[in-house]
Amino acid sequence: MTTTRLTGGGRCGGGGEDRVLATAQQIVNSLNTAQEVREDMLLIFSNFDNRLSGISDLIKGEGSNNNNDDDGDDDEDDLERFQAAEKVILGWDASLSSEPSRHFNSLFDSQIHVFEYFTALDEIIFFMEQFSVSPPPSVDKTMVERAENAVQLAMSRLEDELRHMLIRNTVPLNAESLQYSIKRVSLSFASHIDENLEGFGDSGSDRGFDRFHSRGASLDYDDVVVDLVNMDAISGLREIVGRMLRSGYERECLQVYSSVRRDALDECLVILGVERLSIEEVQRIEWQSLDEKMKNWVQAVKIVVGVLLCGEKRLCDSVFGDLDENYEMKDVCFYETAKGCVMQLLNFGEAVSICKRSPEKLFRILDMYEALRDALPDLESLVSDEFVIGEVRGVLTGLGEAAKGTFAEFENCIRNETSKKPVITGDVHPLPRYVMNYLKLLVDYGEHLDLLLEITDEDLYHLQNDFGGDGSQFESMSPLGCRVLLLMSELESNLVEKSKLYVDNAMQQVFLMNNLHYLVRKVKDSDLGKVLGDDWIRKRRGQIRQYATGYLRASWSKALFCLKDDGIGGSSISAAKVTLKEKFKNFNACFEEIYKNQTAWKVPDEQLREELRISISQKVIPAYRSFHGRFSSQLDGRHAGRYIRYTPDDLENYLVDLFEGNPAAALNHVRRRST
Q: How far is CA 376 from the centre of its chain?
A: 15
Averaged over 337-359, what is the pLDDT?
95
pLDDT score at 339: 94
DSSP three-state, residue 211:
coil
pLDDT score at 573: 74
DSSP three-state, residue 119:
helix
- Indicate whether 62 pLDDT > 70: no
**% helix / strand / coil in the chain, to the nearest 5?**
70, 0, 25
Residue whose C-alpha is closest to residue 603's, from 641, 655, 560: 655
Averaged over 421-444, what is the pLDDT?
94
CA angle 222, 223, 228 (to 5 degrees): 90
- Indicate whether 352 pLDDT > 90: yes
- Indicate whether 178 pLDDT > 90: no
Q: Give the distance between the most distant pair of CA atoms in the chain.
A: 157
Residue whose C-alpha is closest to residue 52's, from 108, 116, 109: 116
- CA gap 218, 202 in Å, rounded: 33
Q: How far is CA 236 from the centre of its chain?
A: 38
- Indicate whether 542 pLDDT > 90: yes
Q: Let me know: does 106 contact 164? Beta carbons within 8 Å.
A: yes
pLDDT score at 663: 67
Bridge partners for 660 per DSSP: 602
538, containing H or E segment? helix 534-561
105 vs 229, residue with greater confidence? 229
Bridge partners for 170 per DSSP: 229
pLDDT score at 60: 45
- Indicate whether 587 pLDDT > 70: yes
Averaged over 115-127, what is the pLDDT?
90
Most confident segment among 31-40, 221-230, 510-519: 510-519
Residue 468 banded pLDDT, cuts 50, 70, 90: low
- Indicate whether 645 pLDDT > 60: yes
pLDDT score at 65: 46
Backbone Cα Rg of the chain? 44
Report the helix count and the strand count for the chain, using DSSP H and E.
27, 0
Residue whose C-alpha is closest to residue 57's, from 75, 39, 74: 39
Bridge partners for 602 per DSSP: 660
Span 133-149, pLDDT tens digits:
666 666 667 888 888 89
Total residue length of the chain: 675
- CA gap 383, 331 in Å, rounded: 8
pTM over 0.85: no
Averaged pLDDT of the chain: 80
Q: What is the DSSP string of 588-639?
A: HHHHHHHHHHHTSSB---HHHHHHHHHHHHHHHHHHHHHHHHHHGGGG-STT
Residue 82 banded pLDDT, cuts 50, 70, 90: confident
Q: What are phi and psi of 643, to 5 degrees?
A: -110, -35
- CA gap 277, 344 in Å, rounded: 8
Q: For residue 517, count other CB atoms closer than 10 A to its CB.
A: 22
Q: Let me know: does 260 contact 166? Beta carbons within 8 Å.
A: yes
Give just the sign of the alpha carbon dihedral 543, 548, 551, 552. Answer: negative
Averaged over 422-430, what is the pLDDT?
94
187 vs 429, residue with greater confidence? 429
Mean pLDDT lowest among 173-177, 338-342, 653-657: 173-177
For the range 575-580, what are the long-range contacts, defined as Cβ-Cβ under 8 Å and sequence gap of 24 or more? 576/634, 577/634, 577/635, 580/631, 580/634, 580/635, 580/643
- CA gap 85, 59 in Å, rounded: 10
- Indicate whether 197 pLDDT > 70: no
Q: Read off the DSSP letter of residue 321.
A: G
- CA gap 454, 382 in Å, rounded: 33
pLDDT score at 3: 41
Q: Let me know: does 124 contact 81? Beta carbons within 8 Å.
A: no
629 vs 469, residue with greater confidence? 629
Bridge partners for 229 per DSSP: 170
Q: What are phi and psi of 660, to 5 degrees?
A: -95, -10
Q: CB within 8 A of 598, min separation 6: which ones?
A: 506, 555, 658, 659
Residue 216 banded pLDDT, cuts 50, 70, 90: very low
Q: For residue 255, count other CB atoms closer than 10 A to its CB.
A: 15
Q: Let me know: does 92 contact 160? Beta carbons within 8 Å.
A: no
SS3 track for 629-657: HHHHHHHCCCCHHHCCCCCHHHHHHHHCC
pLDDT score at 222: 52
- Indicate whether 407 pLDDT > 50: yes
Span 322-331, pLDDT tens digits:
876 656 888 8
Question: Which residue type is seen at 21?
Answer: L
Q: Let me know: does 300 contact 274? Beta carbons within 8 Å.
A: yes
pLDDT score at 329: 85
Averaged over 94-98, what is the pLDDT?
51
Span 593-641, pLDDT tens digits:
999 999 999 999 999 999 999 999 999 999 999 998 888 888 776 667 7
Share of the chain above pLDDT 70, in %: 72
Q: How far is CA 33 from the centre of its chain?
A: 65
Averaged over 660-673, what is the pLDDT?
63
- Indicate whether 360 pLDDT > 50: yes
Q: How far is CA 620 from CA 552, 613, 626, 660, 674, in A?
A: 10, 10, 10, 19, 21
Q: For residue 239, count other CB atoms closer than 10 A to its CB.
A: 24
487 vs 218, residue with greater confidence? 487
- CA gap 598, 305 in Å, rounded: 61
pLDDT score at 187: 35
Averaged over 308-313, what is the pLDDT?
94
178 vs 501, residue with greater confidence? 501
pLDDT score at 142: 81
Mean pLDDT lowest among 122-131, 301-310, 482-491: 122-131
Residue 660 banded pLDDT, cuts 50, 70, 90: confident
pLDDT score at 572: 74
383, containing H or E segment? none
Q: Let me know: does 522 contact 535? Beta carbons within 8 Å.
A: no
Averaged over 549-565, what is the pLDDT?
93
- Indicate whether 174 pLDDT > 60: yes
Averaged over 332-341, what is the pLDDT?
93
- CA gap 329, 341 in Å, rounded: 19
Q: Let me know: does 60 contact 35? Beta carbons within 8 Å.
A: no
Residue whose C-alpha is closest to residue 477's, from 457, 461, 455, 505: 455
Question: Which residue type is seen at 671?
Answer: R
pLDDT score at 349: 96
- Indicate whether 548 pLDDT > 50: yes
Q: How far is CA 235 from CA 21, 111, 502, in A?
A: 16, 13, 81
pLDDT score at 502: 95
Span 438-456, pLDDT tens digits:
999 999 999 999 999 887 7
Residue whose C-alpha is closest to residue 272's, from 289, 305, 297: 297
Averaged over 72-100, what is the pLDDT?
71
Q: Read off the DSSP letter of residue 292.
A: H
Averaged over 402-426, what is the pLDDT?
92
